[in-house]
Every structure is written in C-alpha cells, then in structure tokens.
Structure 1
Amino acid sequence: MSGFIYPPESVYNLLPREEVVTQKPPRYMSKFRSTVILENKSTKDTTRTMGPAKAEVPSPDKYLKKHSKESKQPEKARSFKEAHSCTARKPPVPARTDQPLMGLQTKRDFIKTATAVPMRPRPTCVDTSKGHKQPLENSGLLPKYIKKKDYGEVPEYLQHRNEDEKRAQEELRNFVKEQREQGAMKQLSEEERLNILEGLRKNLNVLHHDYQCLSLVIETMTKKAHKERLEAKMKQLENDISLVERFKTIYIPKK
C-alpha cells in the first residue's frame, strides 16, 4: 500500500456534489428499414402453402426403371481381335451352281509384284553405339564431290588472281628494265651486298651490347626512353638484314 497516494485533504471534498448524467445521442435508424422488412416478408410468404406443394406429377407410363439413374460409360469400339474372332458370323459358302463374279479388279497386281526386281535397301551409316543411323549421303563419308564435272580444276577467281599477279610482276620487271636502261638505277653486285650485310650485322652487335649493359631496374624516364630507342633500332636492323638476305638482286638509285 506504499504506492497508493491519497488525495489531499480539503474542506471542499466533504461537500456533496451533484451527479452529472451524460445524455446519449438517439440511436441511428436507417430510413430504408421499413422497406427491407416488407421485402423480407414478401419473399417468405411466397413459400407458405396450405397442404402439399403443387408440383407436376409424373405420368404412370413413365415409371422409374432399374439402374436408370446410374451413370453410363460410353460404349467402347470393338477391337480388331473381337471383330475378326470366330464368334462373328461369316457369309455362307457359295453353292456349286453359283456363277463366279467377273470383272473384279484389285488395287495391286500380285503377278507383277511377284516377278518384279526387289528394291535395294538405301545405304545408311550408323554413327552411335545405340544404333542411330542416317543416310550415307548426308554423313560425309560418301565421296560425291570427286564426281563433279569441275573437280580438280582451278576456280575462276584464283585464275583471275594469278593473272593479275603475273601482270603486276611483268609491269614491275618492265619498269625496272626501263629505269636501268635510262641509268637511273644500278644493280648491286654480290660483293657489295655481302659488305652491306656484314655492316648491318656489326651495327646490330654494337646495339645489342649496349642493350645488355643496361641496368636491370629502369626507374627513370631517361633510362626508359634510351631502352626504347635501342629496341627500335635493333628491330629496324633485323628487318633490313632479313630483307637483304632474302633478295639476291637489289637495285639502288644513282646519286
């Protein structure tokens, strides 16, 4: 009871007080209440009858039969075995005096079929262990391309290309011949070609020696640029050496 706090004592608390009565608002009533009641009564009154309901009585001729209300399954079609079983009635055997039917024709001529040459099986190729097969013509194993009329012949576009190359070489040869006759170009001798080749190799060795003397760590831009210049010069010398070694005949313009 330590937590309970009594109200402070006052003289005014001893005076009687008038009880305040709160007035509730009137209850809500819908304006459609009476209409709903009438509609509900009208629907109920329609099902009220005096005695048994007036319904159509079935005719005595249409009486309920046995299993008439059970669901029936659709009839199954007769199978080939049932249709051709021994229970089916066959037509009677014709009498001895009956005349045979003349002029009957069948869709298939059995005499020609028996005397015809049997059809050869189509060549196939089995490409899997499970027996999958395909026509041999589509498998790529049949050498059908060698039977073409133009097999082994050079295509036309290659012939045109070879003719263009020959024509370009002939024009270059004629141009070099004209320049040499005019004295504008001279042919290097074999000794001069070997001397030029030896000089290029010496220059390449010198540059390669300088390249090997570079430091392992390139930390400045100057060293990096010097290394790139050496690599570019060695690459150019290698190209020149391969060019001189490949061509035995070299023409240079006269000064």
Structure 2
Amino acid sequence: MYEEESIYNLIPREYNPPPKEKMYKSKYPAKLAPTGSTLINHTTSRPGVANLDGNYQLSRGCHSHIDNHKTLGKQKGANRSNQYDFLKKQTGTMGNNTLPPSTYDGTKRINQKVRPEIPKKDEKPIMGLKSNKNFIISNAVENILSAPKVQREDPNWLGKKDYGQVPSYLQNIKDNIETEYRMIQNQHLNDAEEQAGQKYSLSNAELIQLRDGLKKKWDSVNKEYQSITHISTVDTQGLKRKKEKCERELQQLEKDMEKVNKQFVFVDTMR
C-alpha cells in the first residue's frame, strides 16, 4: 500500500549512516609471491619462496621476489651519497684538463691607464718628508678670508630679447607654406594658359560646312532607317541589328548638330 500523504512528511528526517564494514585483510602474508610464479624475479627464473607444499614461510635464498623501488619508493638513506665517492683530479672522462702555465706578468694592459702601486707597509717615504702644518688652524683661516658666495637672483624671463615675438621655427613654417602656395598658384596659371592655347574657335564658313555635312549624313541614315520601318515584321537578326545601328547613329548626329548650332564653337586639340 502506498503511504498516505501527510504534512509531517515534509519534516526532514534524521540521517543514520549505515554501519561501516571491517576492512578486508587477506589471511595470507602480503609479501608472499603467487604459487609457482616466476614474476618479479630479478635476473632469474627461480622463485624466491617455497610455498608449493603449503608452507607460507619465505625461503632464505639469495634472491627476493620484491625489488627495490617497486612499491613505496627508495629505502630510507638510499639517497645519501658516499662521502668518499667524489670527483678527484685526473679521474674525469675528458682527460687532463689542466692548462699550461700563464706567461702574463700582470704589467701590460690594453687601452687602460695603470695607476701607481700602493706603497707597502715596510717602505719609507722618500727623503723623509714631514709636514708641521696645523690643518685645523689653516682651514679656519681659509674660511675666514674666503669671499662670501654671491647669491644669484632668479632670472627675469620677461626681459628676454625675443619675449613676445613669434618663434623663428613658426616663421620658417609660415614662409614655407607661402612659398608652396605661390608655386601651386603659378602652376595652375601655366596650365590654364596651355589649355587656352590648345583651343580655337571655328569660323563661320567652317561652321556652315560642318552643319551641311551633318545634315546630309542625317538624311542618308534617316532614309535607310525609314526603309526598315516600313517592313511589317522585322523577324531576322540582320534587320534588327541594322535598325538598332541606325537609331544609335541618328541620336548621335542629333547631339552633334545641337552642339554645332551654337554661335561660337571651340575645338580642343588635345582630344
């Protein structure tokens, strides 16, 4: 049967952990090798124990089935080095590493000034020089007779010669800009003069001759175009292309005639 619903079921119940079982421990020795096993035998196939007859005692032999560093690392004191086992002279693998005796006497130096050596403690001063000068009194007299230091006043930057004037580097930049502007302006004037010299106006006779030629050309193209438009059906590619060509030529001729009909017509020789 299902448990009936109740408001008391929302109250958290106390958790009782289950009892912990005892740790498993084998009845056989932990350091005992498997029966008839040849594993973990270092450089031999002879097992280190004699447990084939049911005897679980380790045999005393020259070999052991437990190798060093196989379980929990090295034994205590294994990392300690022998105090007498150190590198000695002439015992390395590189042979004799001794250098030949040096011939440098310590007096020659390259690009260095050699200071005089410090006198030794058993050396005596030359000619027995001695001084009876009283340095305390002489220093006091020198300080009394010395002139006092002149205190310099703070410089007055407002009294500079170039105060309030435009710096020289700004004036140079301004001159360079003006020079460049004049050069560009002269270049534009020269280009305008060259372009003006390359153009000339057509005379009245030339204009009349040009207009008549364009009118005749327009009449011939228009005649050819009219001959095509009278055809009821333009169903071939040749007629279609011929009609489109005539239309383009008529449009271009009309534009040219519109330009030539002006009072003054100029011709550019560079085009």
- The answer, yes or no, to whether TM exceeds 0.5 is no
TM-score by length of 2: 0.27
Larger relative helix fraction: 1
TM-score by length of 1: 0.28
Q: Which has the higher contact order (CA 8 A, sep 6+)?
A: 1
